[in-house]
Amino acid sequence: MSDSQSSNDIPKESPRAILFQFVVFPLGIVCVAVAIFLLFGRLAGEEHSIPDYLNEIRSGSKHERWQAAYQLSRSIKRGETKRYPNLEQQVESIYRGAKHDDPLVRRYLSIVLGELGDRRATPLLIEATGDKDLETRIYAAIGLGELRDPAGVPRLIVMLKEDDSGVRKAASYALGELHDARAVEPLAALLADETADVRWNAAIALAQFGDRRAVPVLLEMLDRTRLDRVRKMTEEQKEDAMIMALAVYPKVVGAAEAAPELQRIAANDPSLRVRDAAKQAIRQ
């Protein structure tokens, strides 16, 4: 973690379920922590509208601003934006003004900009990928993935080469969301990354292109013996890694080649979640 506050204050929600919760941030960078959120401030227990959240972000206290930004991201996920046609411009304006604010505000607003889907925010997020706050850069990369704007691809490719593994993970995730062929070779280069979950992110992203170079890493993710060697990895995280690999492995190698591995996992894995995911992959 680059910031002791962020590991405790950030809530545990994700725009892409397991992919965002685990594959991007499995071993250290956790996106959100609802328990901490519930400990702070009045926003957790009150009904607010989107304009209320915008006003809190503009003029609330430190805790109120980041909480409002988080709640705004949740409102957008619930589809509450249709009543507010100028919301994108308002959020973009706040985002510009929050450059020197609490980093938590910018992090959540990065996700908000991505979820809103207005590609006019692409330059703002590209700029934020150079922020001095490491996790703001990570969230901005995720926002670019959510926007799916090809204009973000060159910057994300550059981020694949950064020293911080969290940045490389986030950029890999985002490029997987963008499905842009320019990312194929840079992602393939990360299949040999020394950090396990960087390799896994790259493999999941590369699998979106049907590239068989991802196969050895996908098999690594399906091998409990190898997962057991990853330091500080919980059982739930191991299951999540396997489930993500199961979702894409058959698409890369084809049903016939995937069948023996899928059948082995469906019959023998100790986790019901993983067995169910293998059975679902077989059916599909």
User: CATH no. for residue 124?
Assistant: 1.25.10.10
237 has pLDDT over 80: yes
Q: What percent of the chain has pLDDT over 70?
A: 83
Domain that includes residue 147, residue range: 4-178
Q: Say how many domains are in the chain.
A: 1
pLDDT at 6: 40
Instruction: Note whether residue 232 is domain-resident.
Output: no
22 has pLDDT over 50: no
Lowest pLDDT segment from 23-32, 151-160, 167-176, 190-199? 23-32
pLDDT at 33: 36
Q: What angle do CA 70, 71, 77 make, to 5 degrees?
A: 95
Report, as an integer, the average pLDDT of 220-224.
97
Dihedral sign for Cα 27, 29, 31, 35, please: positive
Instruction: Note whether residue 264 is domain-resident.
Output: no
How far is Cα 189 from Cα 283, in angstroms, rounded to an integer? 32
Amino acid at 164: D
Q: Average pLDDT of the chain?
A: 85
**Distant-in-sequence, close-in-space partners of 122: CB < 8 Å, separation ≥ 6:** 144, 147, 149, 151, 152
Q: How confident is the model at residue 78 (pLDDT cuts 50, 70, 90)?
A: confident
Instruction: Note whether residue 196 is domain-resident.
Output: no
23 has pLDDT over 90: no
Report, as an integer, the average pLDDT of 163-171.
95
CB 179 within 8 Å of CB 198? no
Instruction: Note whether residue 283 is domain-resident.
Output: no
pLDDT at 270: 97
pLDDT in tens, 260-279: 999 999 999 999 999 999 99
Instruction: Note whether residue 214 is domain-resident.
Output: no
Q: Give 23's DSSP letter.
A: I
Instruction: State which of 58-62, 71-75, 166-170 shows the largest mean pLDDT.
Output: 166-170
Instruction: Note whether residue 234 is domain-resident.
Output: no
Instruction: Note whether residue 190 is domain-resident.
Output: no
CB 12 within 8 Å of CB 32? yes
pLDDT at 19: 47
pLDDT in tens, 119-136: 999 999 999 999 999 999
74 has pLDDT over 60: yes
pLDDT at 47: 61
Instruction: Note whether residue 230 is domain-resident.
Output: no
- At 175, phi and psi to the nearest 5? -65, -35
- Exposure b/e, 92-110, CB count within 10 A at least 16 = b: bebbeebeebbbbbbbbbb
Report, as an integer, the average pLDDT of 99-112.
90
Could you tell me where the DSSP H helices lie in the chain? Answer: 4-9, 17-18, 34-39, 50-59, 62-77, 87-97, 103-116, 122-128, 134-147, 153-159, 165-178, 184-189, 196-207, 215-221, 224-227, 235-253, 255-268, 272-283
